[in-house]
Structure 1
Amino acid sequence: MTTSRWARFGAVVGAGALLVGALSGCSAAAGGSSEGSTDLDAAVTVPTKLTWWTWSDSTQDLADAFTAKYPDITFDVVKLENPDAVVTKLQNAVKAGKGAPDLVPVEYQTLPQLTMGKALADLTPYGLDSYKDAFTASTWNSVNLQDKLVALPMDSGPMVMIYNKDLYAKSGVAAAPTTWDEWADASAKIHAADPEAYIANSGDAGFVTSMIWASGGQPFAVDGENVTINLQDEGSKKFADFWNSRLSNGELSPVATWSDEWTKALTQDKLGTLMMGSWMIGGMDDYGTAGKWAVAPMPSWDGKPASAENGGSALSVTDQSKNKAAAAAVLKYFADGDGRALLNENGFPSTTADLSNPEWLNKPFPAYGGQPANQIGAASSESVVPGWQYLPYQGYANNVFSDSVGAALGAGTDLNAAFEEWQKTLVEYGNTQGFSVNK
């Protein structure tokens, strides 16, 4: 299962994991034989077995492809239950000073946490920083932390709007909304035409943070151990006020994303819109007859393109690895060429060359009546609002989201008050973990 699929099933990465060693001065065990070598070409000619932790069913195929090209490198692929399990096990290895793998996938939102925890190696000495221009700005920004390159992007999740053309038309909505004012008008029409139908559901932690991001919000600012949290900044409040209106009007479905009720609502034309990462473009075949759905850009406040990332992950070399050069060579192989093509089979691309490939861009999708929907996702990747930062304990933030914001979404109460409650919890937690939050 790819990281995109895990994003689809709502996995929370590192939700309860502590920032082991992040602020206490605890560091991972020193690297071994490759610590002094950065020659990737030489590293793949030395018989080496690399350990690769994963949550994905496709990782063994990736490892086999690398071994087919470089027979001296073999792999022990260890499949764990989900991203949370990978993060927890890695942080336990950091705490113990041993036991980490050579390679580990990390969701973008968790990279700051593992970087602060000294779990990941700096890839700059291995020349992988030369790939900067090969990746989208948003994914490259996500893997560069604390003046280090701590991973190479695998897939990405620029947001798109997938909507039910039939439901929209039946409700008197002539076209996909391009602004949030138009979206609000469509929302009212859909619910008025059928009180059991809704334009969307109320959302979860990943959706809310992505919507704040797309609205220009920057509620989290991190400078080393200094953290600032302001969930009442302009973008956060803009989204909260808008979503409050939909909630108070009873226009948002209470069904939880990925639940059986959610699936039923989609297939029975009771839920009209999905706003998710572009990884969902290829996942709509199970939600109705071919041609019922279409893909459009995310609406924005002024009609100009503005998007955010929603999901996606990168591949890292651990700081404990004794085979850093060989592991870095694996990342290089999957950065472009045949390796990248294989990687892209199970995710939405993060590489600019693939996002501009005419064959990929013009691929028709039966779910959308032959629409070349990748074009919408590619355009979204270019309009991701810059400047976003995740908390160095984003997993914890997502885990406690339901106590405040999630509860408000379910009850239809004020999101601004819920944001303030969420912020208070995050400030208190960060300070107990040794960060200096809002000081």
Structure 2
Amino acid sequence: MEKITTRRWARLGAVVGTGALLVGVLAGCSGAAPGADSGSTDTDAALKEDVTLTWWTWSDTTQEQADAISEVYPNVTFDVVKLENPDAVVTKLQNAIKAGKGAPDIVPVEYQTMPQLTLGKALADLTPYGLAEYEDAFTASTWNSVNVQDQLVGLPGDSGPMVMIYNKALYEKAGITEAPTTWDEFATASAAIHAADPEAYIANSGDAGFFTSMIWASGGQPFKTDGENVTIDLQDEGTKKFADFWSDRLNAGELSGLATWSDEWTKALTQDKLGTLLMGSWMISGGMEDYGPAGRFQVAPMPTWDGQPASAENGGSGLSVTSQSEHKAAAAGILKYLAEGDGRALLNANGFPSTIADLENPEWLDAPFPGYSDQPANQVGAASAESVITGWQYLPYQGYANNVFSDSVGKALGSGGDLNEALVAWQDTLVEYGNEQGFSVNK
């Protein structure tokens, strides 16, 4: 099931999060080295020199991409190092930064991890190398994700504007003939599906990545960072709105407790026992072929509170140049190549695009998906990208936050407990941890 494994990690830790080696986000990374390159910011000149760039990755397609780039820039060779997953990349990079040596030139970074690695002095500011000129080429949400603490620390790669993928036949069996457009309609469908088949559920209860994306889509902005000052409010209006709504579904027994991506979760989808996936648009391209015959599923916009478009990102990652790179100009030049044209096509071949031109391309927009009864499903994802709510910030230790989510909110999701009480407990843990790491949290 290689396709599913790759798809899991394409999300940016939307499920598991980067929980590895998070101690000492500030103090523990003091050994960061600026790199020993010439200091030149001329990327064109750098790419004409013989250079070998080390490129860490968790993707199976990076070597193929590197080979294609070398054909365009014959003086550039790549040492592609395949690591197991994003957690492994973060762990190894933070170890290298702490040691003052061993970091690669180019590294993929999940959007949620950009603040953590930026404050840990692991990533180079790409502004001097001319990468800022590509701002208008990218969606606002992905460009915002690679701009941290007034630094441009990455180039957006893929994106994950949320969509609703639903089992049309399961909905119709419960008397629901149209996809819900509001959360009130979603609640009605939820009750109807479970009433029609007590073993069927509209969705599973979710995990940390899902929960934070749903808070975002509900207008919540619980995390704010200004330098080392962090504010956490997991009872702001949007957060509480979603928690109240999801608690009602949970306490009515309408949500499955199956873990996302588990074998049991897959079985429930294939046996018409799980009706809806609320996920990033990266899930569209899979066509849901792994979960049943063609035409079983359809793609619809995310429900909203008032019926007006509102969405969030759920997954995605960019490419960064590390602070230790001795070839920053050349590495930045490669990122420039990957920002547009043939280079961008290499990245878009394996993910949902973050580039506006590609999101507006009629050929891409109108492409039929046999898995969705020839629905031009990219249109739904593209519309979602336009409606992502602005202003979201991740914690500078988001990986840790996702890792300990199961100790509080996760338990409530599993037992039908009070989600708001659990959110307060999660917040208490995050405040304590952040202050221990040298941040000033809620002070």
TM-score (norm 1): 0.98
Residue number among 280, 293, 303 corresponding to 2:297 in the alignment: 293
Matched to 2:315, the amino acid is G
Of 134, 137, 148, which aligns to 1:134? 137
The match for 1:316 is 320
Q: Aligned partners of 1:99 and 1:21: how far apart in 2? A: 18
Q: Where does residue 427 of structure 2 map in the other structure?
A: 423
Q: 1:229 matched to which residue of 2?
A: 232
Structure 2 distance, partners of 1:395, 1:3, is: 19
- Identify the residue that residue 251 of structure 1 maps to in structure 2: 254
Task: Name 1:239's counterpart in structure 2.
Answer: 242
Tell me if structure 2 keeps the 8 A contact 1:20–1:91.
no
Q: Distance in 2 between matches of 1:320 and 1:256?
A: 38
Counterparts of 2:17 and 2:83 in 1: how far apart (Å)?
13
Alpha-carbon shift at residue 25 of structure 1 (Å): 7.8
Query: 1:436: which partner in 2?
Result: 440
Amino acid at match of 2:379: Q
Whether the 8 Å contact between 2:15 and 2:208 is mirrored in structure 1 is no
Distance verdict in 2 for CA 1:20–1:103, change over 3 Å:
farther
Q: Return the alpha-carbon distance in structure 1 between the equivalents of residues 271 and 406 of structure 2.
A: 28
**Residue 4 of structure 1 contacts residue 311 of structure 1 at CA under 8 Å; is this kept in 2?**
no
Equivalent pair of 2:29/2:120 in contact (CA under 8 Å): no
- The separation in 1 between residues aligned to 2:340 and 2:418, in whole angstroms, is 47
1:135-181 deviations in Å (ceiling 9; x for gaps)? 00000000001111000000000000000010011110010000000
Q: Which residue of 1 aligns with 2:116?
A: 113
CA distance in 2, matches of 1:167, 1:90: 45
Pick aligned residue for 1:364 from 347, 368, 377? 368
* CA shift in 2, pair 1:88/1:238, >3 Å: same
Partner of 1:375: 379
Distance in 2 of aligned mates of 1:195 and 1:12: 29
Q: Which amino acid aligns with 2:292?
A: G
Look up the match of 1:384. Answer: 388
Structure 1 counterpart of 2:304, which letter? S
Matches within 5 A, 1:10-25: 12-18=16-22, 20=24, 22-23=26-27
Q: 1:71-220 alignment to 2 at 5 Å?
A: 71-220=74-223
Q: Quick one: structure 1 residues 105 and 365, their matched pair in 2 at CA, closer, same or farther if it must change by over 3 Å?
A: same
What amino acid is aligned across from residue 44 of structure 1 in structure 2? L
**Residues 1:411 and 2:391 aligned together:** no
CA RMSD of aligned residues (A): 1.4
C-alpha separation in 2, matches of 1:25 and 1:293 = 46
Deviation at 1:254, TM superposition (A): 1.1
Letter in 2 for 1:381: A
Contact kept, 8 Å, 1:139 with 1:153, in 2: the verdict is yes
Residue aligning to 1:353:
357
Deviation of the 1:62 alpha carbon: 1.1
Return the alpha-carbon distance in structure 1 between the equivalents of residues 268 and 221 of structure 2: 33
State which of 53, 69, 72 in structure 2 corresponds to 1:69. 72
Q: What residue is the counterpart of 1:338 in the other structure? A: 342
Residue type of the alignment partner of 1:157: G
Any residues of structure 2 matched to 1:275-286 within 5 Å, and which?
A: 275-283=278-286, 284-286=288-290
Asked if the contact 2:123/2:321 (under 8 Å) is kept, the reply is yes
Cα displacement (A) at 1:30? 2.7
Q: Distance in 2 between matches of 1:187 and 1:76?
A: 50
Contact 2:10-2:317 at 8 Å conserved across structures: no
Matched AA of 2:121: K
C-alpha distance in 2, partners of 1:13/1:291?
32
1:210 counterpart SS class: helix
* Cα displacement string for residues 66-115 of structure 1 (whole angstroms, at most 9, x for unaligned residues): 10100100010000111000001000011101110000000000000000
CA distance in 1, matches of 2:48, 2:260: 47
Secondary structure of 2:216's aligned partner = helix
Residue ranges of structure 2 left out of the alignment (5+ in a row): none
Deviation at 1:16, TM superposition (A): 3.1
Please say if residues 29 and 98 of structure 2, whose CA atoms lie closer than 8 Å, have aligned partners that are also in contact. Answer: no
* Deviation (angstroms), 1:23: 4.4
CA distance in 2, matches of 1:301, 1:11: 24
Q: Provide the secondary structure at the position in 2 that maps to 1:286.
A: helix
**Is residue 276 of structure 2 the alignment partner of residue 273 of structure 1?**
yes
Give 1:22 deviation, angstroms: 2.4
Q: Which residue of 1 aligns with 2:397?
A: 393
TM-score by length of 2: 0.97
146-155 or 6-15: which moved more? 6-15
Counterpart amino acid of residue 329 in structure 1 = G
CA distance in 1, matches of 2:29, 2:99: 14
Could you tell me how far apart the structure 1 residues matched to 2:331 and 2:299 are? 38
